[in-house]
Each structure stands twice: as C-alpha cells, then as structure tokens.
Structure 1
Amino acid sequence: MWKCPKCGREFKNTEQDHFCVKPNSIDEYIAAQPEDVRPLLQNIREAIHAAAPEATEKISWQMPTFWQDENLIHFAAFKKHIGLYPGGEATSEFAKRLAGYKTSKGAIQLPLGKPIDYELITDIVRWRTKRKAKGSEIL
C-alpha cells in the first residue's frame, strides 16, 4: 500500500493519481493541476464550451464535466496524458481520427507533450450534442 504524503489516503499503486481535496468547480480542478497542464485543460474546456454553449459545467466523478440533460463529456489530467470521456459510441464513430491515440470504450488518452487536436474535441462534442438531441446515447 502507498500512502499519499499530502492527504494520507492509501492506495494499492505507488504514487496513485488522485485529488487530495475534491474540487468544487472546473476552475478549482484546473488550478490544482501542474502549471504546464493548466493551459491545455483550459483550452480543452474552451473547445468543449464552443461546441456545446448551452451545456453546464460541473464536477462529476471528480472530473470536469459538461452536462446538457446528461453528461456530454468528462475530461481529466493524469501524469502522462489527459483523458477525454465522451462515451463508447463516440470512440467508435471517430475511430479513424483517433487512430494515433490510445482509446478504450468511451475513453481517449491525449498524451502530454504532443499537440492536442482541439478541432477533434470540438467535433466529438458537437456529435455528442446531436446524438443527445436525438436521444441515442446516455453516458
């Protein structure tokens, strides 16, 4: 077991990613991240907001989340990547454009240190918003 020296929580994995304090807003979440990751998270936030201007920001599952009658997309920072969570159908729909990324059902890893395709994020969120309007996918 590994014990976080900041908050005292215990984890199976050494240096497990976690939040010592649960954020109450996306601003708090971003502010708690390493300085070099903050602008990336803010740019992702802006890309999502541009694609879904009616969506509400909130924290869900301790991640920044955009909500519009349901979860549209979550995102989160990790040591080596930023995770996007648009749901399983999105990763299938955008499989060709996601070919260079590590994905699993409903999750996309954007490696830190490589350019982020904000247009891809915008397109995924627009697609999710249209799917939501049709009542297709629920996260």
Structure 2
Amino acid sequence: MKTTSRPKSIEAYIARAPREVRGKLKELRAAIRKTAPKALEKISYGMPYYGYKGRLAYFAYAKAHIGLYVPPPVIAEHKKELKDYGTSTATVRFPLDKKLPIALIKKLIRARMKKNEAKTKKL
C-alpha cells in the first residue's frame, strides 16, 4: 500500500499542485494573507489553514476547482454573491477555468474575521 506524506508547509502544498493550478493557489494565499495579515498560517488536515481568533479558512485544490472552506454562516450570508459558484454550508468551489474572484474572497475572509472577533469579545 502506497502512502503519501502530507505537506509540511503551504509552499510544499502549492508545489505539489499541478502546474496550471499553482498560480491560482498563490493568488488565493496572497489574498488571504493581505486581508488577514495577523492570521496563523499552517497545514491542517493536509491543506492550508488560516486561524484568526478561531478558524478563519482552509483551501484546497481538486481536479476541476479550488475549494475555499469558511466556517458557517458566512457562505449562507453571501449566497446571492456566490450564485455563480458551487457552494455548501462551509464551502465555495471556484472552477479552475475561471479567474478567482479576489474581491469576493477578501469579503468572505473579512466577514469571518468579524464573526471571530465578535465571538472572542463575548468570552
């Protein structure tokens, strides 16, 4: 049985991606880092993870899309803006054959940051 080791850094994760996906992953990473410069960045569950006063976001690539995973209820609150993308409770799927909607991604990240900040103020 062949086992594949998980990447130990986000750079390693991106380097393992197919060449045609790497640029988009770098662009997504840069957008998250610019929006949340104080966020913790690491590999968790084998994919890039960002934490800011709690879970902020994950991302991963698949055969036909890049998934952005943002804890609920952010996706539901932006359903109209996300109508052109596949979504579920905590996931947005951006097709690989289209440009990443960087402004929308930043908006989702900011929304999750505000929710995390409000949650930590209550504690």
| 1:80-114 Cα deviation digits (max 9, x unpaired) | 00000001201111101100111111011001111
Structure of larger gyration radius: 1
Match of 1:104 in 2: 88
Select which of 73, 84, 94 maps to 2:68. 84
* Equivalent-residue separation in structure 2 for 1:27 and 1:67 (angstroms): 17
1:46-65, aligned counterparts within 5 Å?
A: 46-65=30-49
SS at match of 2:73: helix
Structure 1 gap ranges (5+): 1-6, 10-19
Question: What's the CA shift for 1:21?
Answer: 2.1
1:8 equivalenced with 2:8 (yes/no): no
> What is the CA distance between 1:46 and its match in structure 2?
0.5
> 4+ residue runs of structure 1 moved beyond 6 angstroms?
none
Residues 88 and 107, structure 1, Cα contact 8 Å, conserved in 2:
no
- Structure 2: gaps of 5 or more residues: none
Aligned to 2:19: 35
1:69 to partner: Cα distance: 2.9
In structure 2, the residue matched to 1:72 is 56
1:126 counterpart = 2:120? no
SS in structure 2 of the partner of residue 88 of structure 1: coil
The two structures, once aligned, show a CA RMSD in angstroms of 1.3
Aligned length: 120
TM (normalized to structure 2)? 0.93
Give TM-score, length-normalised by structure 1.
Answer: 0.82
Contact 2:55 2:71 in 1 (8 A): no
